[in-house]
Structure 1
Amino acid sequence: MTYLLGLTGGIASGKSTVSRTFKAAGFPVVDADVIARQIVEPGQPVLARIAQAFGPEVLRADGSLDRAKLAEIVFSQPGRMAALNQINRPYLREAISQALAQAKAGGAAIVVGDIPLLYEADYADDFDGVAVVSVDPNIQLSRLMARDGLSQADAEARIQSQMPLAQKAALADFVIDNNGTQEATIAQANALIHRLQRLS
């Protein structure tokens, strides 16, 4: 039986490190961020709806989505993130569900759904269990500023657009602490893999 694990965290919490550890161990990972980019490619109905709702300035000259411009709008104008989510989420949920079903059909002992907004978008019930990658808020802020070259205000706006990490950790079945070294995080991820293999 396949164990379906939901993997989440906050922006710059270290979730990608854990996701890569599962991939390296040979388990399929369905990445919601990759799917989210695929559904807004030119020619997709989602892109047309976003351009209609946010204006032609969110499109580049070649017709592709200007993600930086869209982020600037949704993080600076109240209510705009909710409007974007309302457009995206039905398409995203359908695509993620199809990808998870396809991965599960392959018969792997563990299939991971890497979904940043797992709790915010009500995906928790779709999984056998949820793992949250947790980190101290100050470390999260400094990592995000360094990683994306953001000002403190812009980084805080992105963090505050998500459910607080402590709240996610309280809801989770498994918590991976990413306050230490990358090696320590990978070791925790491998320990979780061994634990889930016994459950599957």
Structure 2
Amino acid sequence: MILLGLTGSIGMGKSTTAAMFRDAGVPVYDADAEVHASYAKGGACVEPLGAAFPGVVKDGAIDREALRRAVLDKPEQMQRLNGIVHPIIGALRTSFFEDARAAGADLVVLDIPLLFEGGGERGMDAVVVVTAPPEIQRARVLQREGMTPERLDAILAQQTPDAEKRSRADFVIDTGQGLEPVRRQVAEIIAVMRDPQRRPNRRAATA
């Protein structure tokens, strides 16, 4: 199965781009959505995180702000958190792959916001970076409820700079030009990934 990583900084249009891959018939694994679902009522992370961090479960779901406070500036607690969450999310990702194979998929997209930060690009055949001009990025993000310039700057400080992401990508999609150019690029990337003569192969290069 061909693995195509999809990443991009906050406000770049990654979710919209992922939806276009999905609309084109390519299964998409959404890492953020998987974490959110596992933190929701009945989610796989609720019970173990509640046991490890008393007070973070409210109304049967993980209170993300309470959890953030519990691990903020506490490396040992963050390590403990990751030790609980990562194996659970890993198992859910495995289920995604199994379902995609059973459906006969030859190509899947892994939508992972912190792909480069976590070194996940090494497991991909190719990586798509979604970008946009800085002024468009900031305008998009600052429209979100509760977002402030200071909070945006803090988020960006924790992410690999956009220019570096673009330099490490196999494909770059600029969402600042409207939806139709993005849709055309998505279609072309799918065609390239399914063509053995044109397809990048990071996994072979790092094997």
Output the TM-score relative to the length of structure 1.
0.81
Q: Which runs of 5+ in 1 are unaligned?
A: none
One-letter amino acid of the structure 1 residue matched with residue 14 of structure 2:
K
Aligned to 2:205: none
One-letter amino acid of the structure 2 residue matched with residue 66 of structure 1:
D
Equivalent of 2:61, from 56, 64, 81? 64
Task: Measure how far apart 1:54 and its partner are.
Answer: 4.7
How many residues end up aligned between the 2 structures?
A: 195
Paired-residue identity, %: 35
Task: Measure how far apart 1:14 and its partner are.
Answer: 0.6
SS in 2 for 1:27: coil
Aligned to 1:46: 45
SS in 1 for 2:89: helix
Separation in 1, partners of 2:118, 2:93: 12
One-letter amino acid of the structure 2 residue matched with residue 142 of structure 1:
A
Task: Measure how far apart 1:17 and its partner are.
Answer: 1.3
Aligned to 1:3: 2
Aligned to 2:166: 169
Question: Per chain length, whose mean CA-contact separation is higher, i.e. which structure has more relative contact order (CA < 8 Å, sep 6+)?
Answer: 1
Aligned to 2:30: 31
Contact 1:135 1:165 in 2 (8 A): no
Aligned to 2:179: 182
Task: Measure how far apart 1:53 and its partner are.
Answer: 5.2
1:99 aligns with 2:93: no
Separation in 2, partners of 1:89, 1:117: 14
Q: Which runs of 5+ in 2 are unaligned?
A: 200-207
Question: How far does the alpha carbon of each residue in 1:78-105 deviate from its partner, in whole angstroms, 9 at most, with x for none?
Answer: 3569444444223223322331243134
Contact 2:46 2:60 in 1 (8 A): no
Question: How far does the alpha carbon of each residue in 1:91-146 deviate from its partner, in whole angstroms, 9 at most, with x for none?
Answer: 22332233124313422232111111222222223221111112233432221111
Tell me the C-alpha RMSD between the 2 structures: 2.7
One-letter amino acid of the structure 2 residue matched with residue 100 of structure 1:
F
Question: How far does the alpha carbon of each residue in 1:154-196 deviate from its partner, in whole angstroms, 9 at most, with x for none?
Answer: 1222222222222222222211122222222222222212222
Output the TM-score relative to the length of structure 2.
0.79
Task: Measure how far apart 1:36 and its partner are.
Answer: 1.0
Cα gap change, 1:101 to 1:122, in 2 (>3 Å): farther
Aligned to 1:126: 123
Aligned to 2:204: none
Separation in 2, partners of 1:123, 1:13: 19
One-letter amino acid of the structure 1 residue matched with residue 38 of structure 2:
I
Cα gap change, 1:82 to 1:189, in 2 (>3 Å): farther
Contact 1:134 1:166 in 2 (8 A): no
Equivalent of 1:157, from 154, 158, 165? 154
Contact 2:53 2:70 in 1 (8 A): no
Which deviates more from structure 2 when the two are superposed, residues 122-131 or residues 38-47?
A: 38-47
Question: How far does the alpha carbon of each residue in 1:50-97 deviate from its partner, in whole angstroms, 9 at most, with x for none?
Answer: 3455541x322x2211234445x389x435694444442232233223
